[in-house]
């Protein structure tokens, strides 16, 4: 059915090409456009209404056949090859407002693309509307107030670059081409979260377009319930067109890098780590990974970033450096962006990737045993962590919607490959690997999880009922459902 829909759409829209070139590749006044509703039913969009929408837009409105359509529909994870009926490339909040209103009035399926880095592919949809914020990638810094304003389509690289040039920083994630929006709304783990908290802990205010088409400025003083909800509740509540972050003074030359051991030393390294990490300062971010090098060498490594004076970091790190016989010690004083871009090539655009994750409250000897027993020596797969604790843990469990304040770390098993023929095998290996660790976890990080949709209530715990009520107030028809979805309570 969907192949036929795409064929009909492309054929019908190819019949008239020049009348509205900024808006559409081709639309005939007598032609309707096949699409998909929120409940998955086939619907038709009136071409005249689509032309009217395009006429209201500052950015382009793309249909199949437009020269930019193919590149615009593709997101970071190449496993997700979907074809929206419309791609609304927004240049500002008014474009977003028009797109949201159009979709709501027609019960049209909606996906929101910030950086396009949704691991489970929820920033694109088949047959619906993709609200694409990619043109909105500006970041400005107020040095006096120590704040950064990031548009909804900005990437973490943009946020880091704009802030660091002023000697300031905030918590950003570990792959620099990730979008600020999805990263922040899910919580926002990064290499500085022990020192400065999650991204949501540094969020001062936001601008959001809700399902009713209203453009709202929200903060702890303005619509505080909605501001509480977007800090950890994901994209359930609207399209965030702008974020205002608190920044912190920062010396960009930091002690950082990896320490690598052969996997045969994993038990010695991890046995030491689970006692040692509990007493670390907020400045030290260090977490384990088990992987295979490109040549197939099985390894365990520790990723290190010290957000303080390097000489103090050297002293704190010394006990770890004495463990075992490292293959490599790459920890040195270097620019912070060296580590912030370290994983960019591995997780490059167009790769095929699958991940499972879970939150861990305590690293225990039993978990260490299972980490070692579950390890798969495969160059496509790795286990890694996002270390929490520190400032993350000192925020109250219900102060934001993020439900995992007590977790010490997040465990992730991820696979990365390029050949579609490997999909089934690589996904199965990743699932089996994580399955051996799952008993040590409780809840998941919804920016990563593939199969979290029907588990949102359990994942959000005591925050869920409040989230459901706020969802019911601002999105009663669940227009924004391509996320770790919260059922509206009306």
**Tens-place pLDDT, residues 436-452:** 999 999 999 988 987 87
Whether 421 has a pLDDT exceeding 60, the answer reads yes
Please report, for residues 248, 329, 379, 384, 418, the alpha-carbon distance to residue 78 in angstroms, rounded to integers and kept in the order given: 36, 33, 18, 21, 8
- Cβ atoms of 414 and 355 within 8 Å: the answer is yes
Residues 6+ away with beta carbon under 8 Å from 158: 137, 138, 139, 150, 180
Please report, for residues 5, 127, 135, 184, 444, the alpha-carbon distance to residue 96 in angstroms, rounded to integers and kept in the order given: 26, 19, 12, 19, 30
Residues 6+ away with beta carbon under 8 Å from 320: 259, 272, 273, 276, 286, 302
Between 32 and 135, residue with greater pLDDT: 135
Whether 262 has a pLDDT exceeding 50, the answer reads yes
For position 428, what pLDDT does the model report? 98
Whether 166 has a pLDDT exceeding 80, the answer reads yes
Phi/psi of residue 22, each to 5°?
-70, -20
Q: Which two tokens stand for residue 372?
A: 């070692």
- Cβ atoms of 242 and 150 within 8 Å: the answer is yes
Q: Which two tokens stand for residue 68?
A: 């930019």
Q: Which two tokens stand for residue 361?
A: 């409250």
- Using only C-alpha atoms, what is the Rg of the chain? 23
> What is the DSSP annotation of 370-425?
HHHHH----TTEEEEEEE--GGGTTS-TTTSS---TT-SEEEEEEEEES-GGGHHH
Whether 285 has a pLDDT exceeding 50, the answer reads yes
Distance CA 393, CA 482 (A): 29
pTM (2 d.p.): 0.93
Phi/psi of residue 225, each to 5°?
-65, -45
Distance CA 485, CA 438 (A): 22
Q: Which two tokens stand for residue 183?
A: 């990263």
Write out pLDDT tens, residues 450-483.
787 778 888 999 999 999 999 999 999 999 999 9
Q: Which two tokens stand for residue 222?
A: 């303005």
Write out pLDDT tens, residues 14-39.
332 333 444 554 344 457 899 999 99
When mean pLDDT is compared across 16-30, 44-58, 76-90, 395-409, the lowest value belongs to 16-30
Distance CA 385, CA 286 (A): 9
- Cβ atoms of 173 and 156 within 8 Å: the answer is yes
Whether 311 has a pLDDT exceeding 50, the answer reads yes
- Cβ atoms of 199 and 221 within 8 Å: the answer is no
Write out pLDDT tens, residues 371-413.
999 999 999 999 999 999 999 999 999 999 999 999 999 999 9
For position 451, what pLDDT does the model report? 81
For position 69, what pLDDT does the model report? 97
Which 3 state secondary structure label does DSSP give 208? Answer: strand
Distance CA 125, CA 248 (A): 38
- Cβ atoms of 308 and 283 within 8 Å: the answer is yes
């Amino acid at each position: 059915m969907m192949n036929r829909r795409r064929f009909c759409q492309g054929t019908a829209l190819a019949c008239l090409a020049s009348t509205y070139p900024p808006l559409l590749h081709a639309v005939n006044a007598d032609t309707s456009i096949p699409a998909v509703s929120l409940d998955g039913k086939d619907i038709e969009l009136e071409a005249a209404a689509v032309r009217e929408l395009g006429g209201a837009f500052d950015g382009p409105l793309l249909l199949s056949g437009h020269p930019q359509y193919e590149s615009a529909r593709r997101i970071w994870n190449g496993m997700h090859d979907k074809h929206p009926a419309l791609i609304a490339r927004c240049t500002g909040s008014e474009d977003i407002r028009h797109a949201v209103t159009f979709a709501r009035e027609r019960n049209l399926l909606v996906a929101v693309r910030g950086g396009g880095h949704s691991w489970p592919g929820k920033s694109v949809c088949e047959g619906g509307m993709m609200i694409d914020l990619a043109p909105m990638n500006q970041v400005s810094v107020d040095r006096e107030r120590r704040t950064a304003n990031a548009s909804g389509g900005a990437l973490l690289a943009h946020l880091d670059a704009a802030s660091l040039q002023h000697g300031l920083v905030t918590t950003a994630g570990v792959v620099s081409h990730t979008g600020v929006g999805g990263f922040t709304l899910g919580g926002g783990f990064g290499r500085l979260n022990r020192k400065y908290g999650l991204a949501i802990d540094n969020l001062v205010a936001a601008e959001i377009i809700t399902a009713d088409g209203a453009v709202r400025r929200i903060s702890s003083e303005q619509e505080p319930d909605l501001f509480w909800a977007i800090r950890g509740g994901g994209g359930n509540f609207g399209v965030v067109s702008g974020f205002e972050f608190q920044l912190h003074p920062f010396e960009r030359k930091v002690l950082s890098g990896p320490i690598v051991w052969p996997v045969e030393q994993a038990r010695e390294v991890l046995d030491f780590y689970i006692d040692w990490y509990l007493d670390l300062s907020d400045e030290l971010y260090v977490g384990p990974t088990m992987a295979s090098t490109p040549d197939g060498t099985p390894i365990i490594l520790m990723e290190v970033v010290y957000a303080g004076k390097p000489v103090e970091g050297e002293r704190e790190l010394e006990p770890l450096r004495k463990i075992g016989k490292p293959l490599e010690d790459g920890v040195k004083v270097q620019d912070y962006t060296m580590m912030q871009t370290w994983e960019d090539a591995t997780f490059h655009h167009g790769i095929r990737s699958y991940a499972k994750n879970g939150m861990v409250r305590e690293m225990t000897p039993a978990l260490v045993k299972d980490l070692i027993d579950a390890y798969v020596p495969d160059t496509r797969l790795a286990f890694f962590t996002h270390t929490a604790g520190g400032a993350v843990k000192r925020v109250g469990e219900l102060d934001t919607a993020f439900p995992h304040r007590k977790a010490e770390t997040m465990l992730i098993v991820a696979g990365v490959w390029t050949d579609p023929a490997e999909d089934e095998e690589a996904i199965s290996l990743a699932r089996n690997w994580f399955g051996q660790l799952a008993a040590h976890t409780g809840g998941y990080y919804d920016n990563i999880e593939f199969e979290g949709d029907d588990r949102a209530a359990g994942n959000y715990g005591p925050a869920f009922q409040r989230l459901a009520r706020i969802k019911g107030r601002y999105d009663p028809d669940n227009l924004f459902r391509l996320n770790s979805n919260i059922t509206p309570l009306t």
